[in-house]
């Protein structure tokens, strides 16, 4: 439903957030598997000692499954606590629905069910793997993972990197498009331009209010329109066939000084005059693109069959009448009678004006004219435009937070893998040191492998991110250019953080005394 004040939902945004949330949970479960494998060298001795003392394999496996479920339940309980805290934070601004637990019992139960099932699924293979070794390993300190196990861990960490890079690119592109929409030239001079809305019962006080406002030295000019200058579904739409083509004109009725106050550039013809405010004929000023496409010119009368629609008196530079994520319209400005209700008032202030003081003066005048009038919500036109794109801004922010979370979780996974590898390759590193390998050489050996993994993941993530961004951008007639530097920036960010983490974790292993390692084994 368009042209209402109700909150509008977005199925695409909901599905996007749900899909990203599932990816983040999948990354977390992958991390659980990675950390489990990273701790196998440490926990294997305890597992096999339990076997030696009579513990059955089934019992040990159930204990690991119970451990996984316990961890997830603890995490879910922490989540429940966070939902109590979130309504008092900035997160509440991005959620329309109540975050109260009592209002979401079905979702809470569903979440617990999914969490337990996911925990069992994630722990099933690791618990089977760690209990599959011979009990004789209990008296040996050496441990070597299989080639299949190493490949599995590389695949898992690759999935994490792929999702993280793709999310970073998508979030960056969403945010760039939002900034592009906010700064897009809508054909109106927005500097020092402010506005407020009159309710339907207060719209008839515009003439007196405008006269009083024009007397204020802080105000350069005051004008009004029946509907918002830029808004979805806020214009009178006339659809017709014109010379065999579909023509859709969006009429916005304004006061005669509208173009002057709004700073709209008139390219050809003449501007509105005061005597046109009460004229029976519709005098129109159209956008240049509309006139070029349909052959209109100053003095031309637009006809729907034998019925005159309006007389074109001027051509203006293109003015945006619809949000960028809506189908762009052929905006037409027309004057109307002076007693026409005017809902949106616009005024331009002088430079260096005390805005809060001026707004208080305008509100006081409005109350003086009509004591029963509603409190005026005065704002800059730029603020009004930002509200039009709140959903896009919300989507960009939410996806950005998800991307940050995915990167953090992925780096935890890298830490787990590096922990496992440095423990698994302690003897190899010690032998290399004995034969003259330097600390920097050992660190580069470990870093090179992860740099290659990140590069391969980037090759997979870049097309996926491009496809998602391209599909999302299709909804905009005007859209920003996405530079390939965005993709390289995401790669550089993930690569730099990964290499820093690998270097930090492998430094200790590379500097460990070789005689201590080899002597112990």
User: By C-alpha distance, which of 328, 324, 344 is closest to 388?
Assistant: 324
User: By C-alpha distance, which of 166, 171, 231 is closest to 195?
Assistant: 231
DSSP string, 131-185: TSS-GGGGG-------HHHHHHHHHHHHHHHHHHHHHHHHHHHHHHHHHHHHT--
Instruction: Specify the pLDDT at position 1.
Output: 44
Structure tokens at 169: 């690119």
Give me the mean pLDDT over the 323-346 stretch: 78
What percent of the chain stands above pLDDT 70? 86
pLDDT tops 70 at residue 150? no
β 236-242/245-254 pair status:
antiparallel
Express each pLDDT in 104-117 by its tens digit. 888 888 888 988 88
pLDDT band at 314 (very low <50, low <70, confident <90, very high): very high
Structure tokens at 246: 């579909």
User: By C-alpha distance, which of 424, 430, 427, 413 is closest to 150?
Assistant: 424
Instruction: Specify the pLDDT at position 502.
Output: 80
Alpha carbon of residue 445 to chain centroid: 38
Express each pLDDT in 499-518 by its tens digit. 888 887 777 777 776 666 66
pLDDT tops 50 at residue 143? no
Question: Up-side HSE of residue 59: CA atoms within 13 Å toward CB?
Answer: 8
On whether the CB atoms of residues 49 and 119 are closer than 8 A, the answer is: no
Structure tokens at 442: 């050992």
Count of beta carbons in the 10 Å neighbourhood of residue 211 = 12
pLDDT tops 90 at residue 347? yes
On whether the CB atoms of residues 73 and 115 are closer than 8 A, the answer is: yes
User: By C-alpha distance, which of 418, 514, 403 is closest to 461?
Assistant: 403
Lowest mean pLDDT among 77-86, 202-211, 501-510: 501-510
Compute CA distances 13 → 8, 17, 213, 492, whole Å: 11, 6, 42, 28
Handedness of CA 115, 120, 125, 131 (dihedral sign): positive
Buried b (16+ CB within 10 A) or exposed e, 245-261: eebebbbbbbbbbbbbb
User: Is 499 strand, coil or helix?
Assistant: helix
Give dist(CA 349, CA 347) in Å, integer. 7
Express each pLDDT in 26-36 by its tens digit. 888 887 877 77
Lowest mean pLDDT among 135-139, 195-199, 336-340: 135-139
Give dist(CA 267, CA 299) in Å, integer. 14
Instruction: Specify the pLDDT at position 334.
Output: 87
Instruction: Specify the pLDDT at position 122.
Output: 84
Instruction: Specify the pLDDT at position 232.
Output: 60
Partnered with residue 237 across adjacent β-strands are: 250
Compute CA distances 352 → 100, 448, 498, whole Å: 45, 58, 49
Give me the mean pLDDT over the 298-312 stretch: 82
Structure tokens at 354: 């005390």
Express each pLDDT in 436-486 by its tens digit. 777 778 788 878 888 888 899 999 999 999 998 888 888 777 788 888 999
pLDDT band at 348 (very low <50, low <70, confident <90, very high): very high
Count of beta carbons in the 10 Å neighbourhood of residue 277 = 18
H-assigned helices in 295-438: 355-369, 381-388, 390-424, 426-434
The DSSP call for residue 91 is G
| Per-residue 3-state assignment (H helix, E strand, C coil) for 212-267 | HHHCCCCEEEEEEECCCCCCCCCCEEEEEEECCEEEEEEEEEECCCHHHHHCCCEE
Give dist(CA 217, CA 466) in Å, integer. 53
pLDDT band at 194 (very low <50, low <70, confident <90, very high): very high
Instruction: Specify the pLDDT at position 138.
Output: 47
Give me the mean pLDDT over the 74-91 stretch: 80
pLDDT band at 163 (very low <50, low <70, confident <90, very high): confident
pLDDT band at 428 (very low <50, low <70, confident <90, very high): confident
Express each pLDDT in 253-278 by its tens digit. 888 889 999 999 888 889 888 777 66
Q: 381-388 and 390-424 are packed helices; what angle lies between their axes, rounded to 10 degrees?
A: 60
Give the CA-trace dihedral at 405, 408, 413, 417, to 10 degrees.
170
Instruction: Specify the pLDDT at position 383.
Output: 85
Instruction: Specify the pLDDT at position 513.
Output: 67
For the chain, report the end-to-end CA distance as a whole number of angstroms. 73
Give me the mean pLDDT over the 282-293 stretch: 88
User: Is 32 strand, coil or helix?
Assistant: helix
What percent of the chain stands above pLDDT 90? 13
């Amino acid at each position: 439903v368009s042209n209402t004040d109700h909150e509008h939902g977005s199925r695409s945004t909901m599905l996007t957030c749900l899909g990203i949330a599932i990816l983040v949970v999948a990354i977390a479960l992958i991390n659980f598997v990675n950390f489990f494998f990273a701790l196998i060298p440490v926990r294997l001795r305890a597992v096999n000692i339990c076997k030696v003392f009579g513990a059955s394999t089934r019992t040990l496996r159930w204990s690991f499954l119970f451990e996984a479920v316990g961890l997830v339940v603890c995490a879910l309980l922490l989540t429940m606590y966070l939902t109590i805290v979130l309504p008092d934070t900035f997160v509440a601004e991005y959620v329309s629905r109540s975050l109260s637990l009592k209002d979401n019992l079905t979702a809470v139960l569903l979440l617990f069910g999914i969490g337990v099932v996911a925990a069992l699924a994630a722990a099933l293979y690791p618990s089977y793997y760690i209990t599959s070794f011979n009990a004789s390993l209990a008296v040996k300190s050496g441990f070597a993972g299989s080639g299949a196990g190493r490949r599995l861990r590389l695949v898992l960490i690759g999935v994490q990197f792929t999702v993280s890079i793709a999310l970073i690119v998508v979030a960056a592109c969403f945010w760039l498009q939002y900034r592009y929409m906010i700064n897009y030239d809508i054909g109106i001079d927005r500097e020092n331009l402010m506005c407020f809305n009159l309710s339907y019962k207060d719209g008839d006080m515009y003439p007196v209010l405008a006269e009083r406002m024009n007397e204020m030295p802080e105000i350069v000019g005051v004008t009004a329109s029946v509907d918002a200058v830029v808004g979805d579904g806020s214009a009178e739409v006339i659809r017709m066939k014109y010379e065999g083509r579909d023509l859709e004109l969006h009429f916005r009725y304004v006061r005669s000084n509208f173009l002057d106050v709004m700073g709209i550039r008139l390219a050809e013809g003449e501007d509105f005059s005061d005597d046109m405010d009460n004229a029976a004929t519709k005098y129109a000023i159209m956008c240049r693109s509309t006139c070029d496409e349909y052959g209109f010119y100053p003095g031309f009368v637009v006809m729907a069959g034998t019925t005159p629609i309006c007389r074109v008196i001027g051509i203006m530079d293109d003015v945006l009448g619809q949000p960028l994520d809506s189908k762009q319209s052929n905006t037409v400005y027309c004057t109307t009678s002076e007693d026409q209700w005017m809902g949106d008032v616009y005024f331009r202030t002088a430079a260096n004006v005390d805005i809060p003081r001026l707004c208080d003066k305008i509100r006081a005048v409005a109350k003086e004219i009509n004591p029963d009038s509603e409190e005026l919500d005065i704002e800059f036109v730029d603020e009004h435009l930002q509200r039009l794109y709140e959903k896009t801004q919300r989507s960009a922010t939410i996806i950005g937070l998800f991307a940050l979370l995915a990167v953090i979780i992925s780096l935890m996974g890298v830490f787990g893998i590096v922990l496992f590898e440095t423990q698994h390759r302690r003897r190899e590193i010690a032998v290399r040191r004995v034969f003259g390998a330097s600390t920097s050489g050992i660190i580069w050996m470990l870093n090179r492998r992860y740099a290659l993994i990140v590069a391969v993941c980037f090759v997979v993530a870049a097309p996926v991110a491009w496809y998602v961004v391209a599909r999302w951008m299709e909804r905009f007639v005007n859209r920003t250019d996405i530079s390939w530097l965005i993709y390289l920036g995401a790669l550089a960010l993930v690569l730099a953080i990964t290499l820093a983490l690998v270097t930090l974790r492998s430094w200790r292993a590379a500097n460990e005394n070789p005689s201590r390692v080899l002597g112990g084994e």
